[in-house]
Amino acid sequence: VKSNVGHLESAAGAASLAKMALALRNDKIPPSINYAGPNPYIDFEKEHLKVADTVTDWPRYSGKAIAGVSGFGFGGANAHLVLREVLPGDLVEPAPEPDVAVVTPATDDSPAVFVGGVRMDEYGEFVHDDDDDDALDRPAPAVDDEPETPALTEEALRLLALAREELAAGTDESAAESKTDLVPLAVSGFLTSRKKAAAAELADWIDSEQGRASSLQSIGRSLSRRNHGRSRAVVLAHDHDEAIKGLRALAEGKPNPSVLTADGPVANGPVWVLAGFGAQHRKMAKNLYLRDETFAEWIDKVDALVQDELGYSVVELILDDSQDYGIETTQVTIFAIQVALGELLKAHGAKPGAVVGQSLGEAAAAYFAGGLSLADATRTICSRSHLMGEGEAMLYGEYIRLMALVEYSAEEIETVFADFNDLEVCVYAAPTQTVIGGPPDQVDAIIARAEAEGRFARKFQTKGASHTSQMDPLLGELAAELQGIEARPLEIPYYSTVHEGKLFRAGADPIHDVDYWKKGLRHSVHFTHGIRNAVDNGHTTFLELAPNPVALMQVGLTTAAAGLHDAQLIATLARKQDEVDSMTTAMAQLFVHGHDLDLRTLFPRSSTGLAGALDFADIPPTQFRRKPHWLDVHFTGDSSAVIPGNHVATPDGRHVFEYLPRGATDLAALVKATAAAVLPDTRLVASEQRAVPAEGARLVTTLTRHPGGAAVQVHARIEESFTLVYDAIVARGDAQSALPAAVGAGTVAESATAPAPVEDEPDDDAAILHDNLTAGAGIAAGFAKWKPDTGESIGQRLGTIVGAAMGYEPEDLPWEVPLIELGLDSLMAVRIKNRVEYDFDLP
């Protein structure tokens, strides 16, 4: 297509593909425009090459018409496609689709469909039957070789029945406070502006009669099945009015607590944070246990293991509203909740990019990283918590040790400890926060000192200080109880707070042996070091798995100290908040930031098992922004820089231009542009329109010079028929030039034009930049150099520069996509480079 439209750089391949598709459809090879003859340095006959200079029938050397298209992109990237004409055999009707039958095997409660003999679930995923013959050829999934574990206790069953009755009757506090289920409405687009436009269209539809007649669940389910662009948002709503309000806020770019939005995905997966002591509270996880089957299933699994280890039921603890958690039951129950929360997230398609544990959270972290089986992880937390509980129960008087969080950095605490000889560091929680432990009088004294200095300080309700020398008597018995646990190779990157926050990559040798757990109980926890290493490795999302967020504040302090001021800090559950809604919100946040999350699974199946027509809403289809990409010729009153078509100078001194307009043409502007292309400083002095050009006619403009100006005629041409449509006279202005001297063919004559006066170059460098860079780059005039005191960040100015050069609004620029993939060409790169050097005063 170079002879048609010139250089297109990365767009040439697509244009050539369109040209060849049209040529195949019309069964003709179009001629190459302006072809004058073969290159004398190429042996066309020997190489079996030919350039079509006329319309040619398509040859069928192999019995069919074939075309090749090559695209040569920026930086030497090449792409080649082969096209073939459609043959009669391509039009054979396909075989009819096999009937689809819904089958529910007795061994599986989940619904499925059989398509062509293959069993699939409602999301199109393959489902393997236990009795499938092919299963004999597949390796069996790894399972823990564990003995049969106990079922729920009778007391747990009694409490469960009572809780379900309260939930159904609405007498349970958590159930009474919650409204209808929170519904996530996903809206997305490749660009932020398209996402906003989609939100506005959806808001209008929901506010219509048809939209209000559709259930919010059906609307959300339909939206979840769509393709999701890079710029995502989720509007969380309980009813139609909340949905409309949130969508309109999203469309207008206004903040709203029910709107979660991000303009592009983050690069690395989320870090799952398994926190330590302090998240416990009465009724924690009870509502979620009653309302979410997946969560309850995994609580029950841990409950059976805990019964086997310690002889009591975690389910009883969760369902007992009067439960006041102690040092032992707190650790075991939080561990069970962490495991169930993680498995619930995994059931919805989420997965960790890395994990980090803190104190008791190390057990669940080891399980999710693959370092321990669930049975061994449960055994570890049970042994640890039971020994600590027994030890704390025996403490009295001078043997009691307290713990407190004080606002001192690791360096500052060492200086402060010079006045408190018996205090020890329990947890390096954040760059400016440290958990310390020791005798009560010294703990109280350091708290008083911190508060007197205007620093934050808080005492923990404990009688013992873990991660200090007080744990030494427990280490031998802990090692004895953990004999036989099997440490496994890691499957997920692991930031170990036991090993000073060090990263152990997936596939690393096992680390969770007995010595690991002894060190973890006795020595300081390097939590902030693990978070800092995660930030340094590119992680920006941190998801805390806990019944109440207790570590996210320290995570936020660490990310801010590392220079990451927009980290995504996501809680799963929170005290006094609806737990199902909290989990929906957490998963929506993961989805918005581009992390793995199957949004379809947030919408439960209907009573029949599969979603039917009534479970979906007839929401508006995706509206595409249609933009023409034809290069039209537009004329303005001073379009001296525009050549109106192909130009030919005839021997008799006339100048002829010809082009095919793609719409209505201003004939007066065409005449001015023609005159400006040949004569300097002309003006239109007389004109008369004789006819209106017919649709599809080419415009042929002829300029005939005469003293003082020229006569210009515009003819409309259809094939070989010409019709005069416009007649005009242009006159010369002040600029004068002599006629060229007549010389022999091939001899260059010196111009007789009087030298134009040299104009002083403008002193304003902004004017120079506007003339040579701005007008071509699409950047508005009147801009100023970037200054730090304007409130505009460097990133915002770069977004303006790059977006203007590449045709994006700054808010739509996909920062995570390489510019070459967005269509950067050499001219754009030069414009960006020049503008950056100017705006930031770079040498």
Residues 194-220, mean pLDDT to the nearest whole number: 95
Determine the Cα–Cα distance for residues 293 and 358; give it in Å rounded to an integer.
Answer: 28
Q: What percent of the chain has pLDDT over 70?
A: 82
Where do you find CATH 3.30.70.3290 in the chain?
A: 164-265+603-615
pLDDT-derived band at 75, boundaries 50, 70, 90: low
Task: Read off the DSSP letter of residue 285.
Answer: T
- pLDDT of 339 reads 98
Torsion of CA 646, 652, 654, 660, to 10 degrees: -30
Q: Side-chain half-sphere of 105: how many Cα atoms within 13 Å?
A: 14
Determine the Cα–Cα distance for residues 120 and 124; give it in Å rounded to an integer.
Answer: 6
Determine the Cα–Cα distance for residues 184 and 219; give it in Å rounded to an integer.
Answer: 9
Angle, CA of 131, 135 and 136, to the nearest 5°: 100
- pLDDT of 607 reads 55
How many residues are there in the chain?
A: 843
Task: Return the residue matching tokens 């009778």.
Answer: 154
Q: Which of 182, 202, 198 is nearest to 190 (CA)?
A: 198
646-732 has CATH 3.10.129.10 classification? yes
pLDDT of residue 99 exceeding 70: no
- pLDDT of 559 reads 97
- pLDDT of 609 reads 54
Determine the Cα–Cα distance for residues 722 and 741; give it in Å rounded to an integer.
Answer: 34
Q: How do residues 486-515 score in pLDDT, each as one tens digit? A: 999 999 999 999 999 999 999 999 999 999
- pLDDT of 758 reads 43
Angle, CA of 220, 225 and 226, to the nearest 5°: 105
Q: For 47-61, 95-109, 266-280, 581-595, which range has the lowest pLDDT when averaged over its residues?
A: 95-109
CATH of domain 271-395+464-576: 3.40.366.10
- pLDDT of 766 reads 46
- pLDDT of 337 reads 98
pLDDT-derived band at 127, boundaries 50, 70, 90: low
Residues 357-368, mean pLDDT to the nearest whole number: 97
Edge-to-edge strand list for the sheet holding 721-732: 646-649, 655-659, 698-706, 709-718, 721-732, 682-689
- pLDDT of 61 reads 83
Cα dihedral across residues 474, 476, 480, 483: positive or negative: positive
pLDDT-derived band at 106, boundaries 50, 70, 90: very low
Where do you find CATH 3.10.129.10 in the chain?
A: 646-732
Using left for φ > 0, alpha for ψ between -120 and 50, and beta otherwise, residue 800 falls in alpha
Q: Which of 747, 731, 670 is nearest to 702 (CA)?
A: 670
pLDDT of residue 419 exceeding 50: yes
Calculate the average pLDDT of the chain.
Answer: 85
pLDDT-derived band at 665, boundaries 50, 70, 90: confident
pLDDT-derived band at 637, boundaries 50, 70, 90: very low
3-state SS class at 27: coil
Q: What percent of the chain has pLDDT over 90?
A: 56
With helix as H, strand as E and coil as C, how does 517-582 read?
HHHHHHCCECHHHHHHHHHHCCCCEEEECCCCCCCHHHHHHHHHHCCCCCCEEEECCCCCCCHHHH
- pLDDT of 131 reads 47
Q: Side-chain half-sphere of 222: how many Cα atoms within 13 Å?
A: 19
Task: Return the residue matching tokens 């490749």.
Answer: 190
Cβ atoms of 637 and 669 closer than 8 Å: yes
**Pairing state of beta strands 433-438 and 402-406?**
antiparallel
H helix count then E strand count, the chain: 26, 26
Whole-angstrom CA distances from 155 to 161, 324, 590 are: 10, 17, 37
Residues 357-380, mean pLDDT to the nearest whole number: 97
Determine the Cα–Cα distance for residues 355 and 372; give it in Å rounded to an integer.
Answer: 14
Where do you find CATH 3.40.366.10 in the chain?
A: 271-395+464-576
pLDDT of residue 812 exceeding 90: no
Which residues sit opposite 259 in a β-bridge? 235
- pLDDT of 775 reads 39
Determine the Cα–Cα distance for residues 449 and 508; give it in Å rounded to an integer.
Answer: 44
CATH of domain 164-265+603-615: 3.30.70.3290
Residues 117-126, mean pLDDT to the nearest whole number: 54
CATH superfamily of this structure's domain 2-91: Thiolase/Chalcone synthase (3.40.47.10)
Phi, psi (5° rounding) for residue 372? Answer: -140, 150
- pLDDT of 415 reads 94
H/E element, 112 = strand 112-115
Q: How do residues 388-411 score in pLDDT, each as one tens digit? A: 999 999 888 889 999 999 999 999
Residues 317-336, mean pLDDT to the nearest whole number: 94
Cα dihedral across residues 436, 440, 445, 447: positive or negative: positive
Cβ atoms of 182 and 584 closer than 8 Å: yes
3-state SS class at 406: strand
Helices 240-252 and 216-224, interaxial angle, to 10°?
40
Cβ atoms of 310 and 386 closer than 8 Å: yes
- pLDDT of 628 reads 63
Determine the Cα–Cα distance for residues 328 and 383; give it in Å rounded to an integer.
Answer: 9
Whole-angstrom CA distances from 675 to 90, 166, 205, 581, 639 are: 55, 89, 54, 71, 10
